[in-house]
Chains A and B, each alone.
Chain A
Amino acid sequence: MTAGISRWAAWTAKGVTIGGDPPELADGPLGAWAEAPPLSKIHPKARRPHPQARALVQLASVVLHDKRIEGLALTLGSASGSAGPDREFNEELTKKGLGFGGPSLFVYTLPSAPLGELAVAFNAKGAITTVSSGAASGLTAVATAIDDVDSGRAPAVLCGGFEWGTKADFICLFLIEAQGPVTITGSTGYGETPDGPRGDLLDLAAAVASGQPFSLTSADRLGFWAQIESMGEMQ
């Protein structure tokens, strides 16, 4: 199998783009998205999901574009993971007392909880994992997804990543499928970072949008790195 990116979308404080160049990364929470699909339409089984999970479901709905993929797997990278919901739940315990935390909020203090929400919303029955490797988390998730499709373990993976409750929040998602139009390869490691242009998930979206060959490497101060390369869009 040859893995390729077939669709992508990104959401930052500056707004949302679906395919094409991503919006600029800017300080602050996710910006307003006037055309955001209503949750009742795309996720009828939702029961008051945390805003982080809600946003992921909304952006994923435009990436999946009404597709229902048998065995769809989910792999998202994040350094901040559940830090936002963690702080909210901790504040609740501090204010109300240890015995009075909200059960629905506690569920979202698992980094994998937003992926569980995605699975329920889109009937994704493949493997679900979050990946954490500092600043390299997002590209590491993409590299992992490429392996899963290349090896035939998953027919398709919704991958990418998110940061929430940070200085500059964002979500950037990619659908990787066998024979997707933008063929990519990935590798990860620890220690000395390979040479080449540096970038993150938003840079990956821009590179994919360009249709040109690219190589992008994310690196973290602790030593994690991930590299994604492409020969460009297949004709």
Chain B
Amino acid sequence: MPVAITSYGIVSAHGQGLQALASELRAGRTGVRKLTAFPAEGLCSDLAAQVPVETKGDRALGLLKLAAEEALGWREWAPSPRRAVLLGSTKGSLPRVLDQGEVDPFAHLTAFLAERVRARGPVRAIGAACASSSAAIGAALQLIDAGVVDEAVVAGVEALHPFVYAGFHALKAMSAKPAAPFDANRMGLSMGEGAAVLVLESAGSAAANRRKPLGWIDGFGAASDANDQTAPHPEGDGLLRACQAALKSSQLTVKDIGRYHAHGTATVQNDAMEAAMCARLFGPKGIPVCASKGSIGHTLGAAGVLDLIGCLAALDARELWPIVGLDRLDPKLSIDPVTVIRQHEAPRALIATAGFGGINAALLVRRHDP
């Protein structure tokens, strides 16, 4: 199962590239600022983790191109039926549907990537609410594991749009202040946007092509709560089964995990669910809990792949990075949240994502130790 990450590119609220993201995450700084992409008068928030880069036309495609160039631009791509492309997003290029009369906001994004890397293997967009790009990584792992392809390009992308912003306002899920995961006074999420692209390869393919692994994905699991359309299962039943499935797929146990990288949206229900789930999975001893949405906002379908890249950077630094926005832990939550930089040698993280419809996905990620 271990699949090598041999390249990545990212654009987030902290700008373009891993360095920009990693330095801000490490320093505990937030990219949540006053929203300038569109007016938000009358809404419960006017904040967002907006990518500080101008793009022309289709915003989702523009963000995807920025991340893709960083991840893919250094390689020559010969056509190959043993290369897949998987894209995770909730709304893709929404203006194509709302303004241009099209019905499919994903196909041209996926096709762009497929043409860029001349993929001739499986190519598709995956929808799994806010776990979409984690599910896309899972699909890539399964294709590589089954020997259908040698490598897969996986992307997550989400662009800010008034439609989505108004929707989360309607759900009363957004915070008037920057998101504060696991905080006693948390009020909800901060919307974000961004894109990230990964190249995943079988260990054999990476070795044969002399491409140095930047990290490893050891396992994946997915499961549904089957409980409610919007509210997570209060005890994290589905997320627990997703995490257990990820461990089983990698033949690891909780003792092999050094940190839990939470979905951590900063909504009252999500964070309580994850704390309950952590207690069930890791037991009374607990585990350090990290989260990045206080810094880069909630990028919805792109969250899984953005979280993975940020988490891998912290694993590489052999550190735990603070949860941005967390000032005072909610006393009802029995977790060990990271609030200041800590030295931490353990090489593996469990990364969680959860979404509407009770959809959950978990990834096991490991730094590359030469």
Contacts and interface: CB of A to CB of B under 8 A. Distances in A.
A34 interface: no
Contact of A101 (B40, B110, B170): B170
Of A116, A125, A128, A165, chain B has the most CB atoms within 10 Å of the CB of A128
A119 B172 CA distance: 24
Interface string A134-157: 100100100010010001010000
A217 interface: no
B357 A89 contact: no
A195 to B, nearest CB: 15
A48 to B, nearest CB: 10
A79 B357 contact: no
Given A83-B103, A89-B163, A188-B124, A99 B42 contact: yes
A131 B126 contact: yes
Contacts of B91: 109
Contact of A99 (B43, B106, B138): B43
B171 interface: yes
Contacts of B40: 98
| Chain B binding surface, main DSSP class | mixed
A210 B64 CA distance: 44
Contacts of B119: 190
Contacts of A188: 121-124
B135 interface: yes
A42 interface: no
B178 interface: no
Contacts of A120: 226-229, 358
B357 A103 contact: no
Interface size class of A (residues with CB under 8 A): 35 or more
B147 to A, nearest CB: 11
B286 interface: no
A189 B106 contact: no
Given A103-B170, A223-B123, A165 B226 contact: no
Given A190-B85, A191-B79, A132 B110 contact: yes
Of A120, A137, A165, chain B has the most CB atoms within 10 Å of the CB of A120
B241 A125 contact: yes
Contacts of B361: 127
Contacts of B121: 188-190
A130 B97 contact: no
A126 interface: yes
Contact of B359 (A102, A109, A116, A133): A116
Contact of A83 (B41, B104, B129, B169): B104
Interface string B161-175: 011011111111000
B357 A126 contact: no
B111 interface: yes
A42 to B, nearest CB: 14
4 A-B pairs closest in CB distance: A116-B357, A130-B127, A106-B167, A127-B222
22 contacts: A83-B104, A98-B166, A103-B170, A107-B229, A110-B356, A116-B224, A124-B226, A127-B222, A128-B222, A129-B126, A130-B126, A130-B127, A131-B127, A132-B107, A132-B127, A134-B104, A188-B124, A189-B122, A190-B114, A191-B120, A222-B107, A223-B115
